[in-house]
Structure 1
């Protein structure tokens, strides 16, 4: 007779899950490439002038959802220092903050995109943040799939459905009745919108993460859903009125520029972005729909938001929203 196997573990050995402060909404006022900054200050002023009405609308609509009408909204801005570094923080950030102020906007938190790839970890070590999210991906198998497709950990590609079968090159394998089959979306409503997302390029030890995947990490960070051995990641560093350095690596991954800002992490996010980011954010939603978050972290967010009368859906992607203003 088989005896049951018992496993004993000290409760103190379980890493405690850090509890984070939450705003109701994390409002992203923009995400620009270095090339956008190179155009000049007028480009920045046009950006924030177009974003201002939508930022006001987000604040008003969030307040309308709350019984007391007092919405906690924090603002953030993401700078791409991962794919290119055409300028320095000392040259780039002051004009950026000035352009936002000219439009009546305050950037509470400033983040570097490279921090979404590798972040400061525990015990003064590096934490491979993007890789940790990759390891949390659980692909949604499309109905009728055979499991032939290699896992995302090997291919670097993630889809929202079933790809079209690969073309056969051997005439002996092609029967007269063989027909082409289209790709299909797993949760299609009537018709499919199939998307295949590249998460990285290059060799495994020298990966270059895609913009879509780093943007997915950025969303998860803002939603307060990532931990490093139970500890919070990318916690903002107060910056106050210090001068900005001449090197990006001399800047913390996330700065708290406004000492009176609401919390960086939030129950939901809204991003005001140029229309060229529409395809990127579609890819982000495909990633978010297939990421597995620790139960303790999910429970923390779900229970606390519900107690505040600001309940969020279990679907992580549904906690994100976007505005793509014309002309931005």
Structure 2
């Protein structure tokens, strides 16, 4: 006997990480609330008229690419059907597409925000997508921390540094020494942020806009898997009419059959300025998500094969434009 043990493993116990196609850039043309759509077609026209110049700038900014290579760029639009449903797909989507076309823009992919919470809710193989990302959060401990703070899985709050102490540092009933919060890795001065990921009890969570937007970024970057399977793969849509119920529409639909791939090496989102604090929170979240190594490797190898530089950090693959007056 050599003392060695032979280990047998079922092939099915090691799920293969499904690969996804990549564009060079996923360009988000907007993310509006239901209340914005209620304002009517003029609101949509103003939105896309303001977005148009920045689309051209984002397209021009892709690269550099090897000689003879043209950038693959897909466009997408996220509709908030999670926090409210004041309108139906049949009522909302046609004027949205018409307003974009009037500005000379094409929406390749349309996504529902509720899909970032639960993918395929009406199917047996539904994926609790937000819950899965929550379990992948690895909090960055601030310098000098002692483990007193409860984990994010229990509190629902994620921070980018050290919170101000909640206990008195003096035994006196009045006074005490106040200590400010501090940002981990701050440059000179702190910009401290505490992000709420959900509200409500664990079995009835309402996910925050910031957390769903972080899931949305990970989906667009092609970095999420469910037991090795890609999630929120776009479904082709060639029907002449849209359904009367949001749940009858796939979480992500491909409206343009000639579109470049939905997932991309990098993302750029053109959003109203009111989303700036939300997207700051998104970056705090993305900086603390543990992404599957195989998914990262696939993106890195594919980009390297094309001579396209992809930052190592997930958060560095995202960019934003907040046009004035949008």
TM-score by shorter chain over 0.5: yes
What is the total number of aligned residue pairs between the two structures? 324
Q: How do 1:116-195 residues align onto structure 2 when only pairs under 5 Å count?
A: 116-120=116-120, 124-168=124-168, 172=171, 178-195=176-193
TM-score (norm. length: structure 1): 0.94
What is the DSSP-based 3-state SS (H/G/I as helix, E as strand, rest coil) of the residue aligned with 1:299?
Answer: helix
Q: How do 1:16-27 residues align onto structure 2 when only pairs under 5 Å count?
A: 16-27=16-27
Partners of 1:7 and 1:279 in 2: CA distance: 51
In the other structure, the counterpart of 2:309 is 311
Asked whether the 8 Å contact 1:88–1:245 carries over to 2, the reply is: yes
What is the DSSP-based 3-state SS (H/G/I as helix, E as strand, rest coil) of the residue aligned with 2:241?
Answer: coil
In the other structure, the counterpart of 2:323 is 325
In the other structure, the counterpart of 2:219 is 221
**Structure 1 vs Structure 2 CA RMSD:** 2.0
What runs of 5+ residues in structure 2 fail to find an aligned partner?
none
Q: Does 1:76 align with 2:76?
A: yes
What is the DSSP-based 3-state SS (H/G/I as helix, E as strand, rest coil) of the residue aligned with 1:71?
Answer: coil
Cα distance change on mapping 1:131 and 1:320 into 2, 3 Å: same
Asked whether the 8 Å contact 1:269–1:320 carries over to 2, the reply is: yes
In the other structure, the counterpart of 2:264 is 266
Partners of 1:182 and 1:7 in 2: CA distance: 54
Asked whether the 8 Å contact 1:32–1:79 carries over to 2, the reply is: yes
In the other structure, the counterpart of 2:246 is 248
Cα distance change on mapping 1:255 and 1:166 into 2, 3 Å: same
Asked whether the 8 Å contact 1:271–1:321 carries over to 2, the reply is: yes
Partners of 2:151 and 2:4 in 1: CA distance: 34
What is the DSSP-based 3-state SS (H/G/I as helix, E as strand, rest coil) of the residue aligned with 2:303?
Answer: helix
Cα distance change on mapping 1:143 and 1:63 into 2, 3 Å: closer
What is the DSSP-based 3-state SS (H/G/I as helix, E as strand, rest coil) of the residue aligned with 1:127?
Answer: coil
Asked whether the 8 Å contact 2:28–2:270 carries over to 1, the reply is: yes
In the other structure, the counterpart of 1:212 is 210
Partners of 2:179 and 2:8 in 1: CA distance: 51
Cα distance, 1:61 vs. partner?
Answer: 1.4
Cα distance, 1:313 vs. partner?
Answer: 1.2
What does the per-residue CA deviation read over 1:252-308, in whole Å, with 9 as the maximum and x for residues that have no partner?
100000000000000000000000000000000000000001111111111111121
Cα distance change on mapping 1:200 and 1:5 into 2, 3 Å: farther
Cα distance, 1:180 vs. partner?
Answer: 1.1
What is the DSSP-based 3-state SS (H/G/I as helix, E as strand, rest coil) of the residue aligned with 2:266?
Answer: strand
Q: How do 1:53-92 residues align onto structure 2 when only pairs under 5 Å count?
A: 53-92=53-92
Partners of 2:67 and 2:166 in 1: CA distance: 54
Asked whether the 8 Å contact 2:303–2:310 carries over to 1, the reply is: yes
Cα distance change on mapping 1:66 and 1:189 into 2, 3 Å: farther
Asked whether the 8 Å contact 1:201–1:208 carries over to 2, the reply is: yes
What does the per-residue CA deviation read over 1:104-145, in whole Å, with 9 as the maximum and x for residues that have no partner?
000000000000000028983211000000000000001110
What does the per-residue CA deviation read over 1:72-112, in whole Å, with 9 as the maximum and x for residues that have no partner?
00000000000000001000000000000000000000000
What is the DSSP-based 3-state SS (H/G/I as helix, E as strand, rest coil) of the residue aligned with 1:28?
Answer: strand
Partners of 1:82 and 1:175 in 2: CA distance: 46
Asked whether the 8 Å contact 1:121–1:228 carries over to 2, the reply is: no
Cα distance, 1:68 vs. partner?
Answer: 2.8
Partners of 1:187 and 1:69 in 2: CA distance: 38
Cα distance, 1:63 vs. partner?
Answer: 4.7
